[in-house]
Structure 1
């Protein structure tokens, strides 16, 4: 597999490109949560000088993807199993609420844009081959668009704030589990169908089902220290019209 970090750079803005390259390596797991690294070693791998690399790391620190630990150094940010579980439970409730509001407030053009987005996602090689479901950030992110469409700035601030990028790491990790990428896309399509039908209850239930299933897959495949949490969840197998979320 070709390394994301060592691919030759062709850049107009070196710092921006280093940020993108590091972000891709973190999201994909090439640089996994908790991984320590030296600026000097990373600069050598990427074939860049330390000044632009240092600025790129500073930017990613601001996005909570990289952290500096006293007496330890620089590492990829990580959440403990307890912190991650609690955060994902809260995310399910809040994003379910955001989806309910979006069903009431989205414009038709926004729903159509989501349909176009999912059509593009279905053609992704990673989804077709079951390797993972990768989404770029912000406006290229299915969840981000729905949250923004809730038109509730408090929800947007909570769900798209400090931990948004770090959660993307774990979202992608969940999608790489066997059978999950295609299932996640189908769940996205059910969410869009509920939004298009302007059915707030079904939209919320579909989103909560999707997020709970993602959480289940993630904790089922994490290391043994997280096993206590995997026992708390089971994948949701019912549909919203069955009266379950």
Structure 2
């Protein structure tokens, strides 16, 4: 029974996470436990645990006399997250340069090839649908093998970034330039040059932040 409840909680958490990030459940929406439990066919216990996990990811907040509510989108907050990313992902690159295996680097190179093919096939449009840009960053952070960086960036900050990217009309990036940035970062990682990889990553994220600020 305990394993079943845990499985239900995981499934419910992932379904709600995806719905919130992609805007199927809009910012500011109330998450009524009775209605959600009935709609998703689960008990109140696993649902409540899933909501608690979403709250820990800063995607849901508990409002007095209202209950669980999806957080709003705040451009200022996203810019602050990007400021954090500049330094934290720079550090992740520095660590990944010596800690990523050749297999991981090869996988990163294949991902970039897929990005390039996608842009070629779609006339240079954004590849946000594949979340390809964040996949690149995610793989490097995982490659840093630093549990605190992984927890902070992948488990918390990135969900807010994904949410903003999916739902914001201001999200109009520079996919071709981003791809070139990624190629240079990969080359630095392949050369095991952590200092250069860190500098390139900081510059890459800083450019994205400046675009948001404009």
Give runs of ≥4 in structure 1 deviating > 6 Å: none
The alpha carbon displacement at 1:99 in A equals 0.8
Q: If the length of structure 1 is used for normalisation, what is the TM-score? A: 0.64
Aligned to 2:192: 198
Question: Could you tell me how far apart the structure 2 residues matched to 1:49 and 1:153 are?
Answer: 32
Give the number of the structure with larger relative contact order, counting CA–CA contacts within 8 Å between residues 6 or more apart: 2
Question: Could you tell me how far apart the structure 2 residues matched to 1:15 and 1:156 are?
Answer: 22
Question: Could you tell me how far apart the structure 2 residues matched to 1:198 and 1:188 are?
Answer: 15
Deviates more, 1:94-103 or 1:198-207: 198-207
Does the CA contact (< 8 Å) of 1:39 and 1:50 recur in 2? no
Aligned to 1:235: none
The alpha carbon displacement at 1:111 in A equals 0.6
Does the CA contact (< 8 Å) of 1:77 and 1:166 recur in 2? no
The count of aligned residue pairs is 203
Question: Could you tell me how far apart the structure 2 residues matched to 1:78 and 1:168 are?
Answer: 13
Aligned to 2:14: 20
Aligned to 2:171: 177
C-alpha spacing 1:150/1:17, structure 2 compared with 1 (3 Å): closer
Q: Which runs of 5+ in 2 are unaligned?
A: 1-6
C-alpha spacing 1:131/1:107, structure 2 compared with 1 (3 Å): closer
User: What SS does the corresponding residue of 2:18 show, helix, strand or coil?
Assistant: helix
More helix by share: 2
What whole-Å deviation, never above 9, does each CA across 1:52-81 have from its counterpart, x for those lacking one?
A: 544432332233322211123221234644
Question: Could you tell me how far apart the structure 1 residues matched to 2:183 and 2:99 are?
Answer: 19
User: What SS does the corresponding residue of 2:128 show, helix, strand or coil?
Assistant: coil
C-alpha spacing 1:115/1:18, structure 2 compared with 1 (3 Å): same
Q: Which runs of 5+ in 1 are unaligned?
A: 1-12, 220-229, 232-245
Aligned to 1:215: 209
Does the CA contact (< 8 Å) of 1:106 and 1:150 recur in 2? yes
Residue 67 in structure 1 maps to residue 77 in structure 2? no
Deviates more, 1:97-106 or 1:53-62: 53-62
Q: If the length of structure 2 is used for normalisation, what is the TM-score? A: 0.71
Question: Could you tell me how far apart the structure 1 residues matched to 2:114 and 2:204 are?
Answer: 19
The alpha carbon displacement at 1:95 in A equals 0.9
Aligned to 2:110: 116
Aligned to 1:132: 128
